[in-house]
Every structure is written in C-alpha cells, then in structure tokens.
A = this chain, B = another copy of it.
Amino acid sequence: MASMAQAIRLALHYAEDHLGVTDVLGEDVGLPLGGVFTATQGLKTAWNSPLDERGIIGCAIGLALAGQRPVAEIQFCDYIYNTIDLLKLAGNTCWASNGDWNVPMVVRTPVGSGIRGSIYHSHSFDATMTHIPGWKIVMPSTPLDAYGLLLSACQDRNPVMVLEPKALLRMKGEELIPGEPGDDRVLSKMIDAPLGDRMQWKPQWPDVQAYTVPIGQGKLVRPGTDLTVVSYGRTLPLSVKAAQALESEGISAEVIDLRSLWPYDWEMIRESVKKTGRALYVNEDTEVTNFGEHLVRRTVEELFYELLAPPRLLAGKFLPGIGLADPLEMASVPQLPDVTEAMRALAREQP
C-alpha cells in the first residue's frame, strides 16, 4: 500500500493529468530531489523555486489569478510564518473584490512533530491557519484520504491548505488507492526515484483513478458509546490505538477523524457528542488559542445541556518550541499514554 508521501505524489500526478494542475512549485520540489519528503518526485510540472517563501505564496497567488492551477509547497510549515499576510490576502481576494476574482491555489506543507525536528521542524499550523478566513483547510491521516483530499483541493475554486502530518508521511495505508498496484515493491519501482543520478529517470505512473474525499466531511473511524474523540493528523492513529486499548477496560470510545478543519463536519461531531455526552479534542498544536478550543466552544455553545462532563482538549504544551532531546519532545506534545489517559479520565469523570 502506498505511503502518504507516495499517495500525495500519485494525487498530484493525477491532478496534473486530469485536473489541470499547472505548477508544483517550492523549494527542492523539482529535480533532482523531488521534495524533502519525496512527495513530488517525477512530477512533470514540478519546479524548484528560489529560497523565498513569500515569493512562493505570492507567485502561486499570481498564477491562480492568471487562471493556472498551482500547488505550492512550503518545505516545512515552520517556515510559512513570514507569509501570513499573503495567506490572508489569498483568503480575502474573492471577498474584497466582491466576488470578481477567485484564487484557485493549493498550498501543501508538512506539519507537526514526530521526526525529532527540534524547534524548527516540529511546528503545527492548524491553529494559525484556522484563524484565516477564506481558505479551506484539510489534514489527512491516511494515504487514501491524502489522495482524496488533494484531488478535491485541486478542483476547488478557492485556496486550499493541505497540512501533511510529517510523522505519517512514510506510513503505509491500509486501503489501496484506486489504480495502485497491490505490491508495494512494484509501486516503489514505478514511482520512487532511484538513488544517485535522477536527471534521466522517469516514473512509470500507475493508472490511478479519480477518488475524492469531499472537503468538509469527517470520517467516523471507530464507533463507540462512552465518549467522543475528535482528532486529525498525527494524533488520530494514537486516538484509535488508545480506543482499542481502552476497550479492555470497558470503555467504548467513538473516534472521529476530522480530516477537514475548515469547513468541518459539525454534524458528525454533534451527533456523536449527543450520543456519548463526552467530548475529547486532540491535536498537537500549542494549546492557547488552539483550534480545539474552538471545537470546545462550539460544543458548549450548542450541546451544553447534553454533556455529562466538560468537553476536554488535549493539545501541545504552550512552549516556545519542541526540544530535540527525547524527553523534551515526549513531554511537549501528546503521546499515546497521554491520549489514553485523557480518554480514560474523561470516560470515568463524574461530577
């Protein structure tokens, strides 16, 4: 099964061939590297940009205004913070021009911890991004969702931010992408660039098919009755694992993979929380002015009287960075024991 990085590559290939993607631009996305996470290897429209994030986002906006379909990459979301004004501009251009112009661009950027990235390769971007109006924002936790969400993003008439959880980029999926060969080694031979000189290498693309995950649709990953866990990205598989572990303690947790952060599937959350009366939101961004706090707010706003316990947030500590040493990273962002414990505590909480 394809890894998430391979799934992204396949999606972009499909989007180049079928959805009119004209440019995959960013630092080191073209030859010879094909992206620091290999996500853009072999793509025919990939080209290396100058080392200038403002230029990358600016150029993508310009391309989009000119009717192209750019997919821009910011190498790590840690380096996107000098472009927030431009992201806001991309998000307000349609509104500011009263609908005259639209900006059909996609930005992809790896986010989060899990690869020992230290202070500047561990940032999360969901809190900052969900505060910027005019964008759609997605964050897959499986290769197939990455594929399906990217295909949706590349067809949207609005700017779409794709947050790619670094920790999951190399993880293989459990579902085949339509058209993907069943054998991983075969897939790798076809689309992974060889070591050494790649300038002559050409990928052999499998005939992948259209498959879209509509933006705004969550996924009920695991049904349950005692509490609702809503997560996305790196912490989603942890939530599933924790739910599995807690089964033996008689705790039945329902787990929702939000997948789209904006717009998001409130319907799915609401139905679940109405059923369980307990909600835990899990993400790894720092916990002050965090998107999970928005979800907590909405939960109390609309479901207060149906709650059996306060909705909880488990998120990253409010620290200036994630330290490199193992004990530091482990203590800074939610790990499996933290998720398990938070779920257990909420399930058992009594007034």
Contact = CB atoms under 8 A, between A and B. Distances in A.
Interface of A: 54, 79, 81-86, 88, 91-92, 94-96, 119, 127-128, 130-131, 133-134, 262, 286, 288-294, 296-297, 300-301, 304-305, 309-313, 318-321, 351
16 contacts: A81-B88, A82-B82, A82-B83, A82-B85, A84-B84, A84-B128, A92-B320, A95-B321, A127-B289, A130-B288, A133-B286, A133-B318, A133-B319, A288-B291, A289-B294, A290-B294
Contacts of A81: 84-85, 88
Contacts of A290: 131, 289, 294
Nearest to A315: B297
Number of copies: 2
Contacts of A95: 319-321
Given A131-B286, A293-B296, A301-B310, A96 B83 contact: no
Q: Is the interface of A mostly helix, strand, loop or mixed?
A: helix
A131 B84 contact: no
Given A96-B321, A288-B291, 13 more contacts: A79-B85, A81-B84, A84-B84, A92-B321, A95-B321, A96-B119, A96-B320, A131-B289, A288-B294, A289-B290, A296-B297, A300-B310, A305-B351
A313 B297 contact: yes
Nearest to A321: B92
Contacts of A91: 320
A134 B320 contact: yes
Contacts of A312: 301
A237 B127 CA distance: 29
Contacts of A286: 131, 133
A84 to B, nearest CB: 4
A104 to B, nearest CB: 16
A294 B318 CA distance: 12
B119 A92 contact: yes
Contacts of A320: 88, 91-92, 94-96, 133-134
A20 B318 CA distance: 31
Contacts of A310: 300-301, 304
A71 B130 CA distance: 30
A289 B291 contact: yes
Contacts of A296: 293, 296-297, 300
A54 B309 CA distance: 46
Contacts of A292: 297
Nearest to A296: B297
A164 B74 CA distance: 33
